[in-house]
Amino acid sequence: MKVKATLKGDSAEVKIMAESLMAGKEEAAAKKLPAEEYITHITAKLNGKTVWEASTGPFLSKDPYFKFDINGAKAGDEIVVDSVDNKGKKDTGTAKIK
Amino acid sequence: MQRRKFLTLGAVAAAATVLPVGLSATDFRATNASAWEAPSSKEAIEALFGKGAMIEGKIEIKAPKLAENGGAVPIGIKSDIELTTVAVFQDANPRSAVVVFELYGNKIDLMTKIKMKKTAEVTIVAKGADGKLYKTAQKVEVSIGGCGG
């Protein structure tokens, strides 16, 4: 997972590129994958506090991309992003706000 | 009197919401499993947000009129009002619900990319911090479908 966070005034713009095929049952069957594979939930924390969440399904694009703003962020603050998929596989990405 | 007033407000707030309220993490796949199986946007929206009136024109959707690649159609969402929950639906794939965001009081300037197997309408439904429901929609034409099937 890639995470980037850039300060823009008093908010930070966060960009995430997660890693998943985001394949639902139809796509898994069409591509002859062993099983469905898609991220179901992603959370972003700023200095340990949850500031953004997404409940997700297989109709987001492959390696899903997200962009959002966080109020009240400062340069040097840490963003931690955690994802989990339908099989319980977890992934984490971090970024310091620049 | 104070207590009665408080209780009345609480009851009104509870009646006005279908979504679970709270500052803790919400996994809408777990709390609203059936909404993710709904084939049409109408059904998915009702399952997640109920049948209440929706205000149009307060949320801006930024999506291409014509998407060359249905595998990654950029969908931008902007609004000047405070929204607690923003959800994306489409009628191009076997099921409608794509993603439900929770925004914790942050400015609404979101972008994500979705798969669209064919030309269809993309609908954004949001719940405001005021408890009201907001909606906007745009048709996206897809020249090459992107659902792998």
Per-residue pLDDT of chain A (98 residues; tens, 9 = 90+): 999 999 998 899 999 999 999 999 999 999 999 999 999 999 999 999 999 999 999 999 999 999 999 999 999 999 999 999 999 999 999 999 99
Tell me whether residue B149 is in a domain: no
Q: Check residue A10 and give its pLDDT.
A: 86
Q: Check residue A68 and give its pLDDT.
A: 98
Tell me whether residue B135 is in a domain: yes
Number of domains in chain A: 1
Residue-wise pLDDT tens digits, B90-108: 999 999 999 999 999 999 9
Q: Check residue B21 and give its pLDDT.
A: 42
Number of domains in chain B: 1
Q: What are phi and psi of B13, to 5 degrees?
A: -60, -40
Lowest-confidence pick of A13-17, B15-19, B110-114, B123-127: B15-19
Average pLDDT on B52-66 reads 96
Which chain B residues are within 8 Å of A57, Cβ to Cβ?
A: 29, 36, 95, 97-99
Tell me whether residue B26 is in a domain: yes
Question: What order do you get walking across the sheet with B73-79 strand by strand?
Answer: A2-8, A11-17, A65-71, B108-114, B73-79, B59-62
Q: Which two tokens stand for residue A55?
A: 């409940």
A36–chain B nearest CA distance, Å = 13
* Residue B93 per-residue DSSP state: S
B59–chain A nearest CA distance, Å = 15
Residue B111 to residue A43, Cβ atoms within 8 A: no
Residue B99 to residue A54, Cβ atoms within 8 A: yes
Which chain A residues are within 8 Å of B71, Cβ to Cβ?
A: 61-62
Residue B27 to residue A41, Cβ atoms within 8 A: yes
Angle value at C-alpha A32, between A2 and B70, nearest 5 degrees: 55
Beta carbons within 8 Å of B15's beta carbon, 6+ residues apart: none
Q: For residue A19, give its domain range.
A: 2-96
Of B105, B109, B113, the CB nearest to A60: B113
Q: Which two tokens stand for residue B97?
A: 């619900």
CATH code (residue A57): 2.60.40.10
The pLDDT > 70 percentage for chain B reads 80
Q: For residue B106, give its domain range.
A: 2-144
Residue A54 to residue B101, Cβ atoms within 8 A: yes
Which chain A residues are within 8 Å of B126, Cβ to Cβ?
A: none
Q: Check residue B27 and give its pLDDT.
A: 86
Residue B110 to residue A66, Cβ atoms within 8 A: yes
pTM, 2 dp? 0.88
Q: Check residue B146 and give its pLDDT.
A: 63
Tell me whether residue B69 is in a domain: yes
DSSP E strand boundaries for B53-107: 54-56, 59-62, 66-69, 73-79, 83-90, 97-102
Examine the pLDDT at B149 and tell me if it is beyond 50.
no
pLDDT band at B19 (very low <50, low <70, confident <90, very high): very low
pLDDT band at B26 (very low <50, low <70, confident <90, very high): confident
DSSP E strand boundaries for chain A: 2-8, 11-17, 39-46, 49-56, 65-71, 78-85, 90-96
Check if the beta carbon of residue B90 is closer than 8 Å to that of residue B116: yes
CATH code (residue B50): 2.60.40.2470
From its phi and psi, is residue B131 left (phi > 0), alpha (psi between -120 and 50) or beta?
A: left
pLDDT band at B15 (very low <50, low <70, confident <90, very high): very low
